A and B are shown apart, each in its own frame.
Chain A
């Protein structure tokens, strides 16, 4: 036991020496951050498939985005909100049937082979379109990718596909993997899905299951601003209390994705040397939504849905459940998607009297016991906040005479009950807004989606007018017209309440103040971290 003290210390000293020795030569570079060092980050999951071209999820991107790059990344100040990565420029045709990408030249894969348009064409046609969870939506009408030369890829679509959608989706759906490693193999079982090979600022060095992922600096990165860190280690810490303790003990330097629970933030922010950062998740907005099963005759009545909306005190939800780290929602598009957001929609203020009046009007009078009818409420177990909101909603419904029975289940059981078996009246869900309403938002209210599709309209809601707007927007190439359609979409959803949007939130990063350039883009946690640095 005692030997721990000297060994830990020697380790830290060695780390410090390493920092000092590598910091000197690069001080004069473009950005004044020191080079070198090992950044240790908390990770809470170990995806079985780490290939972001196949699995476009935050858990995968968190590690993989440092190794495998998309065509473009989200940016606070870039044109169209994008910063070029493997593509340097892109333009769409008038008819929406093609998009041309001009690719970066002089880029090599981590195994030394050159990156060309053939890699993009292969990734798009053989992975993004047929295999990727989100690419299947965005590239549904992709027919061919032409590669007139090594630095140009022309995407051809069978139906008009808005450039606006492609652009908004690029950071998430366009991770390029090397054709030479995947061609002719079983893509889903390729070893490169774990032992990643990409073009990014870090190489995939090692994965020790249950313990860590280790990435090392790519010495031949294409950008003139070279990666700063020598190593990034994602250390698996499944317990949420563990990440906070490890930060305080300086065993890790950063915990993203709210790995430190909200309730600990106030305390930990007062620790010297620790910063709580709320930026860097603007393009990864999660939404707190009440899903409604319209097969229940009470819930098929708009007045009842309006009453439920009036019964929810959004301010309480934001202040008490999210401890202020959230924003009240007005509709299905979050505020930090300014391109589409429309504040001019009906508002449902917290008003219990009005809610009760609406229910009386709808013909659901209170019985002798003060109750109007009973409901089954299933809160999703994925976040503390969704479970707590379930508890709150039960009380809020009791205040208007609706007796909600809470049914808690683990993740797989919840998913099956709500999205396959439709065994719910109300459910609490945390869908994600992914930069464009067409990616994963319209599906929440669109009709005709087969059972078994998670995070989709499984409440039996059907509204022909809304469906028409969604279909039209999906093929409207003109940006202004398309944006206008999504404004209509928001108005229709908020007026008819197929679901109730309550709050929207981003995650929290907690980091030691030695970590520099944190949260400098709207998808920071899942971006490449080339400029992230450690101060000695």
Chain B
């Protein structure tokens, strides 16, 4: 865990420098949004944002406040970065968590179906279908699903995270949120499902050729038992690796899906931070994402040990 502190430091400094290298600053972005302002306004804003200080001074100030676990002040929103992140993070975790879980579950289940008999008709249909879905751009799929299910059939709401000012609580509110998330989660699931399906199928295809499978067969085990207990289980490791990578990628949120479905999440916040040249906010988002990625990796490592006793054993044995 503490080994990741230097990584975090590098991430913070790089983000800071990257945004610093972009032309225009927070004052340019803000004055543009209000239709322009004169030189005196720009000057006083730069002073109040601290942009009149040198880059090194600002970086040092940011790093020292970060060391005190203070994420700073967002100039684009005029609010503390921590509040913004705490407000948006649950939405993204809900959206991305459900999408990752669903795509993992459905993808690996279909992967087992396809991998149960590599090269069969079933395998070919599933593999092709998943490739087609994977090749469809997410925003397009999102818009099409929205037009069909929200605009034409009106089964689901077009956008938002919940019905506005509805006064719902408890289960009825949860159902409302689920209805709002159905389309964005569905879109992301369809796109990412293919990854898990392909990895599962490929892993199983490889395991089928191993000696112990032959042995299991010759022992007279039932086919279902061989597929599930021996082949699929041994193909799980790369799948879990993929899950770890994918969760990390999903933590940043999906700018496109969050915009299309008007979900106030992390991705949209990051986009707004970049266009507003809000260094503190963007760095804050990236630090929080990086911490979460570290945690996910830890969880994945533990899962490895649980799935494959050899992982922990070899380290202990050494």
Interface residues of A (CB under 8 A from B): 1, 3-5, 7-8, 11, 40, 45, 47-49, 55-60, 133, 136-137, 188-189, 206, 209-212, 214, 231, 233, 235-239, 241-242, 245-246, 248-249, 251, 382, 409-417, 420-421, 432, 440, 450-456
Are A453 and B87 in contact, CB atoms less than 8 angstroms apart? no
Distance of A47 Cα from B158 Cα, bound (Å):
24
Are A416 and B28 in contact, CB atoms less than 8 angstroms apart? yes
Distance of A451 Cα from B28 Cα, bound (Å):
12
- Size category, B interface: 35 or more
Are B268 and A210 in contact, CB atoms less than 8 angstroms apart? yes
Q: Which chain A positions have C-beta within 8 A of B87?
A: 209-210
Interface residues of B (CB under 8 A from A): 22-26, 28-42, 48, 76-79, 84, 87-88, 143, 146-147, 150-151, 154-161, 163-166, 172, 175-176, 178-179, 182, 259-262, 264, 268-269, 274-277
Are A245 and B38 in contact, CB atoms less than 8 angstroms apart? no
Are A5 and B155 in contact, CB atoms less than 8 angstroms apart? yes
- Looking at the complex, which one of A210, A411, A452 makes contact with B42 (CB distance below 8 Å)? A452
Query: What's the nearest-Cβ distance from chain B to residue A207, in Å?
Result: 11
Are B176 and A7 in contact, CB atoms less than 8 angstroms apart? yes
Are A11 and B159 in contact, CB atoms less than 8 angstroms apart? no
Are A410 and B275 in contact, CB atoms less than 8 angstroms apart? yes
Distance of A4 Cα from B150 Cα, bound (Å):
11
Distance of A328 Cα from B78 Cα, bound (Å):
40
Known: A48-B77, A237-B159. A11 touches B166 (CB 8 A): yes
Are B34 and A60 in contact, CB atoms less than 8 angstroms apart? yes
Are A412 and B35 in contact, CB atoms less than 8 angstroms apart? no
Q: Which chain B positions have C-beta within 8 A of A45?
A: 33
Residue of A nearest to B35 (CB): A57
Are A8 and B157 in contact, CB atoms less than 8 angstroms apart? yes
Query: What's the nearest-Cβ distance from chain B to residue A518, in Å?
Result: 21
Residue of A nearest to B172 (CB): A7
Query: What's the nearest-Cβ distance from chain B to residue A302, in Å?
Result: 28
Query: What's the nearest-Cβ distance from chain A to residue B142, in Å?
Result: 9
Known: A3-B175, A57-B35, A237-B159. A212 touches B164 (CB 8 A): yes
Distance of A49 Cα from B29 Cα, bound (Å):
14
- Looking at the complex, which one of A212, A235, A412 makes contact with B277 (CB distance below 8 Å)? A412
Are A409 and B23 in contact, CB atoms less than 8 angstroms apart? yes
Are A236 and B264 in contact, CB atoms less than 8 angstroms apart? yes
A-B contact count (CB 8 A): 180
Distance of A415 Cα from B34 Cα, bound (Å):
13
Query: What's the nearest-Cβ distance from chain A to residue B256, in Å?
Result: 9
Are B260 and A241 in contact, CB atoms less than 8 angstroms apart? yes
Most A CB within 10 A of own CB, among B22, B24, B26, B42 = B24
Are B146 and A415 in contact, CB atoms less than 8 angstroms apart? no
Are B38 and A239 in contact, CB atoms less than 8 angstroms apart? no
Known: A7-B176, A210-B268, A249-B154. A58 touches B35 (CB 8 A): yes
Distance of A242 Cα from B79 Cα, bound (Å):
27
Residue of A nearest to B43 (CB): A452
Distance of A249 Cα from B33 Cα, bound (Å):
30
Give 28 CB contacts A-B under 8 Å: A1-B179, A4-B156, A7-B175, A48-B78, A48-B79, A57-B35, A133-B31, A133-B37, A210-B264, A235-B262, A237-B159, A237-B262, A242-B158, A242-B261, A245-B150, A245-B159, A249-B151, A412-B22, A412-B24, A412-B277, A414-B24, A415-B24, A415-B28, A415-B32, A416-B23, A416-B24, A432-B35, A451-B39
Q: Which chain B positions have C-beta within 8 A of A413?
A: 22-24
Distance of A57 Cα from B37 Cα, bound (Å):
11
Are B159 and A242 in contact, CB atoms less than 8 angstroms apart? yes
Q: Which chain B positions have C-beta within 8 A of A415?
A: 24, 28-29, 31-32
- Looking at the complex, which one of A57, A214, A452 makes contact with B34 (CB distance below 8 Å)? A57
Known: A236-B262, A236-B264. A3 touches B178 (CB 8 A): yes
Distance of A210 Cα from B42 Cα, bound (Å):
27
Most A CB within 10 A of own CB, among B33, B150, B275 = B33
Q: Which chain B positions have C-beta within 8 A of A58?
A: 35
Known: A212-B164, A412-B25, A417-B23. A453 touches B38 (CB 8 A): yes
- Looking at the complex, which one of B37, B176, B260, B274 makes contact with A239 (CB distance below 8 Å)? B260
Distance of A389 Cα from B307 Cα, bound (Å):
59
Query: What's the nearest-Cβ distance from chain A to residue B8, in Å?
Result: 27
Q: Which chain B positions have C-beta within 8 A of A456?
A: 36
Query: What's the nearest-Cβ distance from chain B to residue A328, in Å?
Result: 24
Q: Which chain A positions have C-beta within 8 A of B35?
A: 56-58, 133, 432, 440, 455
Q: Which chain B positions have C-beta within 8 A of A210?
A: 87-88, 264, 268-269
Distance of A203 Cα from B179 Cα, bound (Å):
31
Known: A7-B179, A249-B150. A57 touches B33 (CB 8 A): yes
Are B160 and A235 in contact, CB atoms less than 8 angstroms apart? yes
Distance of A281 Cα from B161 Cα, bound (Å):
32
Q: Which chain A positions have C-beta within 8 A of B79?
A: 48
Are B76 and A48 in contact, CB atoms less than 8 angstroms apart? yes
Q: Which chain A positions have C-beta within 8 A of B143?
A: 241, 245
Q: Which chain B positions have C-beta within 8 A of A49?
A: 78
Distance of A179 Cα from B255 Cα, bound (Å):
42
Distance of A361 Cα from B262 Cα, bound (Å):
55
Query: What's the nearest-Cβ distance from chain B to residue A294, in Å?
Result: 20
Excluding A136-B41, A206-B165, 14 further A-B contacts by CB distance (< 8 Å) are A1-B155, A4-B182, A60-B34, A133-B37, A133-B38, A242-B260, A245-B150, A249-B151, A410-B24, A411-B275, A412-B26, A415-B29, A421-B23, A453-B36
